[in-house]
Amino acid sequence: MSERSRKLVVEGGEKVVDFNIKAFKPAPAQGIDDALESMRAGMMFRYQPKTLEESHVSMFEKEFAEHLGSRYAVAVNSCGSAMFIAMNIAGVVPGDKVLSNAFTFTAVPSAIHHARAHPVFVESTDEWGLDVEDLEKKVIESGAKVLLMSYMRGHVPDMDAVMEVVERHGLFFIEDCAHAYMTSWDGTLLGRFGQIACFSTQSSKGLSSGEGGILTTDVQEYAAKAILYAGSYEDRWNRHHDMDAEMMIRLQNEIPGYSMRMTEVTGALLRPQIPRLHEVHAIHKSNYRHLEKLLEGHPNIFVPKPLSKAEYYCDTMQFHLQGLSREDADRFIELMSMEGIGMQIFGVDRNARDFREWHYLGGDEVVELPRTVQNIEFACDLSLQPHLDTSHMDVIASVMFDVLDYINNG
């Protein structure tokens, strides 16, 4: 065994990790105060406040739309709900085919299943973005007219090429931006490319409220339909910004309400977080680039580089383990956990991001996707929450090197 600075926990050594890499962001004090005030006043239903300005959810919608540069935002109870509503707006009916990433979280195919549609999975690249060549192939083969594309873990494909395919085939493009806050292509924020974009405010996301979602669009009719699908009724739509009364009255009883609204408590928790996104993004970038530099050149670690036009949020890091057997890669995850740094490999252990585990879709939908399998089989997923700094990155890298040294020489 080569000489190391310390014994690992498995060898009887002591942990050097005294921090939790996965601890999620606490709610800002202002958000907690506003949420408590809403609860004490019994004003938790989003349509209880009588004016736009009194409603935390209505103001959150306005403020998030301004942040993104979108005309409209509609707040809902989850990103899954936002995607389901978006597919309804796109005209998806039971039996339709919807194009989507093979590499994504189970919530995305679940939303397609919720719409009683059938996913057509598109391969991924070794950098975990959607493979545009396979997208073109699947569009032609399937005849699908809707693309629900995920920026899984914030990874961005060649958006110029994606938009060429979208425009060439007249696709209705829905962006799943659950992992793509403050993420851009050639200076344009993701969420500004499709007809509709969907964001998550689940605890691990850029905006964090436990659960929640946002649908954004520049098309007023899509926003109007989203408001109604989410559960506006009677004249409650007047608690949304800049909606045309004649359009809302026309659509009011033509659209079912699925009771997918965001609560006032959630809206209160989220509003103060929007101005913090730039600050948090800077922390993530600093940590990510520091750790990336430390890992550079290690024979067992490959961190793919993003495309030159892409700017990532950097709240997680994915890397390929290389030169290790299946047994050794699984041992790496086990030993890292023992050291206090929990991570996972996408392609093993019933991971919810492995398309082979989505048995609810039925056998016909789960097809052979060899490139995606290759790209998740040894792909590690490391959380880098913003309470960490570059000194923590030093510890993470040191522990990884020690564990890999133990595996290679033990």
Q: How does pLDDT run across 319-359, given as a tens digit for each residue? A: 999 999 999 999 999 999 999 999 999 999 899 999 999 99
CATH number of the domain enclosing 253: 3.40.640.10
Do 123 and 168 belong to one domain? Answer: yes
Angle in degrees, CA 191, 194, 195, rounded to 5: 115
Do 238 and 322 belong to one domain? Answer: no
pLDDT recorded at residue 18 = 96
- Tell me the angle at which helices 390-409 and 326-338 cross, rounded to the nearest 10 degrees: 130
Do 308 and 251 belong to one domain? Answer: no
pLDDT recorded at residue 363 = 66
Domain total of the chain: 2
Residue 260 falls within a domain, yes or no? yes
pLDDT recorded at residue 2 = 47
* Model confidence pLDDT, tens digit, residues 168-189: 999 999 999 999 999 999 999 9
Distance of CA 379 to the CA centre of its chain: 17
Domain boundary among 273, 293, 323: 273
Do 89 and 128 belong to one domain? Answer: yes
Percent of the chain having pLDDT more than 70?
98
pTM beyond 0.85, yes or no: yes
pLDDT recorded at residue 364 = 54
- The larger pLDDT score, comparing residue 4 to residue 101, is at 101
Residue 170 falls within a domain, yes or no? yes
Do 20 and 65 belong to one domain? Answer: no
Quickly count: other Cβ atoms within 10 Å of residue 106's Cβ.
18
Residue 2 falls within a domain, yes or no? no
Whether pLDDT at 365 is above 60: no
Domain boundary among 255, 273, 291: 273
- 19 CB burial (10 A radius; 0-12, 13-18, 19+): middle
Residue 3 falls within a domain, yes or no? no
362 — pLDDT class (breaks 50, 70, 90): confident
Could you list the residue range(s) of the whole structural domain that residue 109 is in? 29-273
40 — pLDDT class (breaks 50, 70, 90): very high
Domain boundary among 273, 300, 331: 273
Whether pLDDT at 5 is above 50: yes
In angstroms, the CA 385 to CA 371 distance is 29
